Amino acid sequence: MWQYGGMAKVKTTLSLDEHLMRHIRVRAARTGRTQSDVLEEALREGLSLIDRIRSRNEATEEEALDLASRAVHQTRSEGNAR
């Protein structure tokens, strides 16, 4: 563990879908941020969404994950239709 900008960080290795990793690289390049920052933000937002769905719907973790996944896919579909 090390300090980075006042936050303790843990280095880890992930196996990600190549298309997802490409999306992370592109977003990082477009925003001038690191890939780690983009991935960390996405994880925080995704986990926060799941927590909000669970609390509003009194859903199980699995039900909340399913609802969040459907919401993401719907948003992506709407974005692709534009």
pTM, rounded to two decimals = 0.65
**H/E element holding 8?**
strand 7-9
Distance CA 12, CA 43 (A): 14
Give 28-43 pLDDT, tens digit per residue: 999 999 999 999 999 8
Residue 26 has pLDDT above 90, yes or no: yes
Give 39-66 pLDDT, tens digit per residue: 999 989 888 887 887 788 777 888 878 8
CB 43 within 8 A of CB 24: no
Domain ranges of the chain: 2-81
Q: What residue type is 54 in one-letter code?
A: R
> Comparing C-alpha atoms, which of 34, 43, 42, 26 is closest to residue 4?
34
